[in-house]
Amino acid sequence: MKRKLIIAIDGPSGAGKSTLSQLLARRLDYININTGAMYRAVALAASRAGIASDDCQALEALCRCIRIEFHRDNGVERVWLDGEDVSEAIRTPQMSLLTSAVAACAEVRQAMVGLQRQMGAQGGVVLEGRDIGSVVFPQAEVKFYLEASAEARGKRRYDELTANGLEVDLQQTIDEVKARDSADSAREHAPLLRPEDAVGIDSTTMSIEEVLTQMLAVIEQRINDGQEA
Ligand code: DC
């Protein structure tokens, strides 16, 4: 039987992490964990409860009493918060900015990292985020660092939001992507960084299929290496 690996995908927003981790998970019959969606669910719960994004104590208490789950619906990953499907509600530009602030809180990170480790403990899992290979699963057998130019990432986000019927401005979306990158990279706790042992892929001019093929080749190689060892 093939080994069930832990696959970590890190990188800035809009680099293609969500799409590729879903495709990889489907191809390998693994579980897919979108950790950004978990931080987004916390941010949504905080905004509904009227908790400020810098009130780490209140956020910590909130994390203890909310329930975040992933369910697959017709092959598509959906995020549930306390029994409600919040997959769309967590994706607005306002929620993106709020999430970046909430995710800077050490107590929130501790709670989410604990959950992520539980969800991935058995292996056979693809996790995507900012600190998977560096903090959550430093022992992951395969680590990718996916990036692309800020313009390409902003354009992808813009296409995604407009496809969902939101009216947004392209330049403003690019600027927001850049602002979020700086906040995620400059924060004190678990900032976005490229693990030394990660395979770097720049997807600026690549199609999703090209990136997927490259990733599958790396994974296949690791599975074979493990079987020979
Ligand atoms: O991947 P995303 O855009 O859905 O992530 C939303 C925010 O959550 C982003 O600002 C960074 C933060 N995040 C994080 O700090 N750590 C993770 N593992 C995943 C996301």
* Sign of the dihedral through C-alpha 57, 84, 112, 180: negative
Element (H, E) at 178: helix 170-186
Check pocket membership of 103 for ligand 1, CB cut-off 6 A. yes
Q: What is the three-class DSSP state of 101?
A: helix
Rg of the chain in Å (alpha carbons): 17
Check pocket membership of 53 for ligand 1, CB cut-off 6 A. no
Residue 224 in any domain: the answer is no
pLDDT of residue 81: 98
Rounded to whole angstroms, what are the CA distances from 176 to 32, 41, 73, 184, 198?
A: 26, 20, 30, 12, 26
Residue 205 in any domain: the answer is yes
How far apart (Å, rounded) are the C-alpha atoms in residues 53 and 97? 10
**Percentage of residues of the chain with pLDDT beyond 70:** 98
How many domains in the chain? 1
Check pocket membership of 180 for ligand 1, CB cut-off 6 A. yes
Residue 225 in any domain: the answer is no
* Sign of the dihedral through C-alpha 192, 183, 12, 114: positive
Residue whose CA lies nearest to ligand 1 atom number 1:
36
Residue 167 in any domain: the answer is yes
Q: 226 C-alpha vs ligand 1 centroid, how far in Å?
A: 31
Residue whose CA lies nearest to ligand 1 atom number 4:
36
Check pocket membership of 130 for ligand 1, CB cut-off 6 A. yes
What domain range includes position 52? 6-219
In this predicted model, what pLDDT tens digit does every residue of 88-126 receive, in sequence order? 999 998 999 999 999 999 999 999 999 999 999 999 999
Q: How confident is the model at residue 1 (pLDDT cuts 50, 70, 90)?
A: low
Rounded to whole angstroms, what are the CA distances from 128 to 25, 58, 62, 121, 122?
A: 11, 26, 23, 15, 16
Q: 110 C-alpha vs ligand 1 centroid, how far in Å?
A: 14
Q: Which of 184, 188, 189 to mutate to test the pocket of ligand 1 (most atoms within 8 A of CB)?
A: 184
Residue 1 in any domain: the answer is no
Give the position, in ligand 1's atom list, of the atom nearest the Cα of 104: 15
In this predicted model, what pLDDT tens digit does every residue of 48-90 receive, in sequence order? 999 999 999 999 999 999 999 999 888 788 999 999 999 999 9
Q: How confident is the model at residue 213 (pLDDT cuts 50, 70, 90)?
A: very high
Mean residue pLDDT of the chain comes to 94
How far apart (Å, rounded) are the C-alpha atoms in residues 149 and 202? 8
Residue whose CA lies nearest to ligand 1 atom number 18:
129
State yes or no: pLDDT of 228 exceeds 70: no
195: closest CA among 10, 16, 24? 10
Q: Specify the CATH number for the domain of residue 147.
A: 3.40.50.300
Check pocket membership of 100 for ligand 1, CB cut-off 6 A. yes
Our separate counts of H helices and E strands in the chain read 8, 8
Cβ-contact 146, 203 below 8 angstroms? yes
Check pocket membership of 99 for ligand 1, CB cut-off 6 A. yes
Residue 118 in any domain: the answer is yes
Residue 228 in any domain: the answer is no
